[in-house]
Chains A and B, each alone.
Chain A
Amino acid sequence: MGRYLTRRTLQSVPLLLLITLVIYLLLRATPGGPLSLYEGDPNVTPADLARLRQQMGLDEPPPVQYAKWLSGFVQGDWGWSLVTKRPVLQMVAERLPNTLLLMSLSFGVSLLIAIPVGIISAVRQYSAFDHIATTIAFVGNSLPTFWIGLMLIMIFGVGLHWLPAGGMFTIGAPFSVEDRLRYLVLPVMTLALFDATHYARYLRSSLLDVIRQDYVRTAYAKGLRERAVIREHSFKNAAIPLVTVIALDLPQLFSGALITETIFAWPGMGRLFWEAAGRVDYPVLMGIFTVAASLVVLFNLVADLVYAWLDPRIKYS
């Protein structure tokens, strides 16, 4: 196990290096750049642009720029934003707690919905509940989050005035949990609805496979109650595909939900990324991309480890 971990960790180093290089090249290959907003201003001369390019370090050969960025990054210096002139790490640190709050809540809510719904749907296949649940899941999965989000705003914000249309808390009001929750309801619902339908469909189909297995029939035959059969014999095995899906979604705890955060004016990582992309702020984009990529690699490894726990037949050595 230890050797397996070491090997996987070592393998991920070149992989991550490659990822950062590809991201770097892609960013540089896109037309425009942080200085393009001055294009069209008759008061910014080519000499001014050359001076800015030099001040931003954009005049150096790309390999040098990449190397400088990389050596800084591994030492914990993520560089300075070209636009806000603030340390990237500080900008990320401001947004990360907001995203963690939103994403972990949505994640929890979606699992609370998805697990019971998925199990009942599978166990009572073709029942009225199953039909309704699968229909909702199908619809929910097909609706884009931005549409759900906008509809929720239209109905509960603009129409009924029950909940705020966006933001994170009432500006100027003293901190209160109730106020925070009011602002959380709609974005969490938007995200959870989408994820829950997604997870429920996975769980239902994999559980359907499992409960037709001989060992499940054996468990029933020896007189175990249904609840015990599901819990002890079916669910853990059926959860393996779900774990993969969930593990790959977990990096979003860091990177946030770009669309939902944007619709609900939630000051999280998704919006930070979106703004940086609009401003072609290379250091900020590189920082977010790299951490997000590292987390994907990390959670892939975690998923593999969880498999071993869920299914003792899977062994790593």
Chain B
Amino acid sequence: MDMQVPRSNRPSQTIQVVRSARSRRTFLAAGTTGAAALLAACGPESTAPAATQAPSSGSATQAPVAQQAGQPKSGGTLRIALYQEPAILNPFLNSQTAGTEVMGLIFLGLTDVDPEGKRVPVLAAEVPTVQNQGVSADGKTVTYKLRRDVKWHDGKPFTAKDVQFTWQAIMDTANPIASRTGYSSITSVDVKDEYTVTLNYKEFYAPFITLFVSVLPAHAYDNKTAGMDKHEQARKPLGTGPFKMQEWSSGNHVTLTKNTDYYVRGKPYLDQVVFRITPSREVGVAQLQTAETDVVWDLSEATVPDIEGKPGMAVWAGAAPDVERLILNFSAPSGAQQGLPSSKHPVLGDPKVREAIELAINKKQIVDKLLFGKTTVASSPVPMGWAAYKPAPSEFSPDKAKQLLDQAGWRPGSDGIRAKDGVKMQLTYSTTTGNALRERTQQVIQENLQTVGVSLEIKNLPSAVLLGQWADNSPRKRGNYDINMWTTNAGIDPHSHLFSYFHSSQIPTEANKGDGFNYSRLLDSEVDKALEEAGATPDEVKRKAAYERAIKGIISSRAHIYLYNRLDVDGARSYVMGHKLNPWSVMTWDIQEWWLNK
């Protein structure tokens, strides 16, 4: 029995994010850890393994369009099953995906991202840019003009003071806020007038527009920033969103009611939204089948056949920015030089070998056979959004792979495994334990590489170990691995992802106590330069061009070999109308548009 615990959140760009940067798919539950191992005898409550929840039902991308039929009706209660209980309803203290779904109804941010990846204003009257003078030429001064018609749920007006308070609260060290990245680059927040606020940055922060995706009510905290974690607002928050908090019964449900003062007139349509806390996705699906719930959030692909094509039920599925990938180690995997960027992996250190490995992998077969053709072959770390760069997928050609390996001097031995200067092409291949889809993927890749003379030894590790920290002796941090496999995503602004995974300054070492995610130990001055350039200008056109250069270099280095793009999947009763999928936000991002056709 596998021991998966409720997923925490997706690694990049999730924390503190309510309405943007999709946070649903963790990559393998970085937070699922050890103590769970104590429970080794437990039952089926194990939530479906994070990666079995890969893609499903690509066809269903069209489903929401079909749902738009008819005039929206007002009224009714919508029940949404969450397999995770929100821990805390403060957007900056929350570290959980279920929490972001609930807060998506309560809190609004200055801006949000639409399904096409375009930045749209919410509490801001317009999205600040250099063109509309909202952003200074050097990008260090950002001015937001705010909407004048927004009220907090208690009727008090929303003003620039609230934005200033939000920043002050985030920066108050008395609050246990995990990430202050970006906010800590701000030196002051000036309230110009009641509805104009200026952010002064000490240095340019490229993803500046992703900040303030929620705003807190200053008056509800009496303007006191400290102690937010134990404040009653953490459980009964006040927001500006389409629904107000009504009741939270632990382990059972969270009920929200319509905000009749919502700034978009005539919306929301629903009177009430109830989040039912279910212990697993499977329980949620059972409740969907019995019509005890209307929507099941974040399904695994294994459960899709239970819903797809069943009368009265619909699958909501669409492409997600997450990419399942192999991570290759360029440095020495053992010995005194282990993990040092200056060292060279005896097999993977040669770019020709890495190219041959990618050529030998039949990605199409993995998508068609293991994922039932529901998703697409991946080719890039940034497959969608404004900064997307998506070249054609790599070729599948075992013959070319063999030629390349021959050229590089690797000759097959009597057992079929290639060797060079006494080094055999034997590599370890690790992913998280207890994940059926990942294990089957490993078998396909193992066979693929066997045919070209590369032997893979599968050695899987619990996620707490595989994805652990420097202090836990995590192999990826310490550099003692050959090939790893997991999922992550670049988010709507790819900067922090690309920089931390591929810039040479981000290689985990003893000196930096394992900071950074450049686990491949990629050292490429061109990639470095392109990333630095992209991070230094507020001009989106220039940034996109620079990211494209960086991504090209990253792809050809094969630091990561991208296998397949993943999908976001939810299940619903077919009378739930009005929802549009948004890969950049939470499922409930457009809850004000939902209605019940029954």
Contact = CB atoms under 8 A, between A and B. Distances in A.
Contact of A56 (B176, B289, B468): B176
Interface in A92-111: 94-95, 98
Interface string A154-176: 10011001001111100110000
A285 B35 contact: yes
Contacts of B11: 39-42
Contact of B87 (A27, A94, A158, A279): A279
Interface stretch (A43-51, A229-237, A305-313): A43-51
A146 interface: yes
Contacts of A98: 251
B500 interface: yes
B79 interface: yes
B85 A275 contact: yes
Contact of A166 (B32, B36, B176, B278): B278
Nearest to A285: B35
Given A40-B488, A259-B43, A171 B38 contact: no
A36 B464 contact: yes
Nearest to A55: B176
A258 B468 contact: no
A153 B176 contact: no
Contacts of B517: 40, 42
Contacts of A84: 87-88
A32 interface: yes
Given A36-B30, A49-B178, 12 more contacts: A30-B34, A37-B30, A40-B30, A41-B12, A48-B181, A171-B253, A172-B77, A262-B44, A263-B43, A264-B283, A267-B250, A278-B36
B255 interface: yes
B276 A32 contact: no
B157 to A, nearest CB: 29
Given A94-B250, A171-B253, A267-B277, A278 B287 contact: no
B95 A37 contact: yes
Interface size class of A (residues with CB under 8 A): 35 or more
A144 B465 CA distance: 30
B173 interface: yes
B3 to A, nearest CB: 9
Contacts of A44: 15, 178-179, 181
B129 interface: no
A46 B515 contact: yes
Interface string B345-360: 0000000000000000
Closest 6 CB pairs of A and B: A32-B33, A30-B34, A267-B251, A37-B31, A278-B5, A40-B11
25 contacts: A30-B33, A31-B472, A32-B468, A33-B33, A36-B30, A36-B467, A36-B468, A41-B11, A42-B497, A43-B182, A43-B496, A44-B181, A48-B179, A49-B178, A83-B87, A83-B88, A95-B251, A171-B252, A171-B276, A172-B255, A259-B44, A271-B251, A274-B42, A279-B6, A280-B36
Contacts of B435: none
A91 interface: yes
Given A48-B178, A85-B88, A259-B43, A265 B277 contact: yes
Interface in B92-123: 93, 95
A194 B6 CA distance: 27
A109 B131 CA distance: 73
Contacts of B488: 40
A38 interface: yes
B465 A41 contact: no
Interface of A: 26-27, 30-33, 36-46, 48-49, 51-52, 55-56, 80, 83-86, 91, 94-95, 98, 144-146, 150, 153-154, 157-158, 161, 164-168, 171-172, 258-259, 261-265, 267-268, 271-272, 274-280, 285
A278 B36 CA distance: 6
Residue among B30, B88, B488, B501 with the most chain A CB within 10 A?
B30
Contact of A85 (B229, B283, B289): B229
Given A33-B33, A157-B286, A168 B45 contact: no
Interface string B141-182: 000000000000000000000000000000001001011111
Contact of A31 (B179, B465, B496): B465
Residue among A27, A98, A165, A264 with the most chain B CB within 10 A?
A165
B99 to A, nearest CB: 10
A257 to B, nearest CB: 10
Contacts of A272: 251
B92 to A, nearest CB: 12
Interface size class of B (residues with CB under 8 A): 35 or more
Contacts of B598: none
Contacts of A150: 44
A263 B179 contact: no
Contact of A172 (B15, B274, B286): B274
Given A42-B499, A161-B290, A258 B39 contact: yes
B63 interface: no
Interface string B479-516: 00000000010000000110111000000000011110
Interface of B: 5-6, 8-9, 11-15, 27, 30-39, 42-45, 77, 79, 85, 87-88, 93, 95, 173, 176, 178-182, 229-230, 234-235, 249-253, 255, 272, 274, 276-280, 283, 286-287, 289-290, 292, 462, 464-465, 467-469, 472, 488, 496-497, 499-501, 512-515, 517
B252 A168 contact: yes
Given A27-B35, A36-B468, A42-B517, A157 B290 contact: yes
A195 to B, nearest CB: 16
A306 B11 CA distance: 55
A29 to B, nearest CB: 8
A262 B255 contact: no
Nearest to B207: A43
Nearest to B33: A32
Residue among A146, A168, A267, A276 with the most chain B CB within 10 A?
A267
Contacts of A161: 290
Contacts of A263: 43-45, 279, 283
A41 B16 CA distance: 12
Contact of A37 (B8, B77, B249, B255): B8
Residue among B33, B36, B230, B292 with the most chain A CB within 10 A?
B33
B214 to A, nearest CB: 15
Contact of B287 (A33, A166, A275, A277): A166
Contacts of A32: 31-35, 464, 468, 472
Nearest to B12: A42
Contacts of B514: 46
B15 A38 contact: yes
Contacts of B280: 262
B8 A95 contact: no
Contact of B286 (A49, A165, A168, A275): A165
A43 to B, nearest CB: 4
Contacts of A158: 286, 289-290
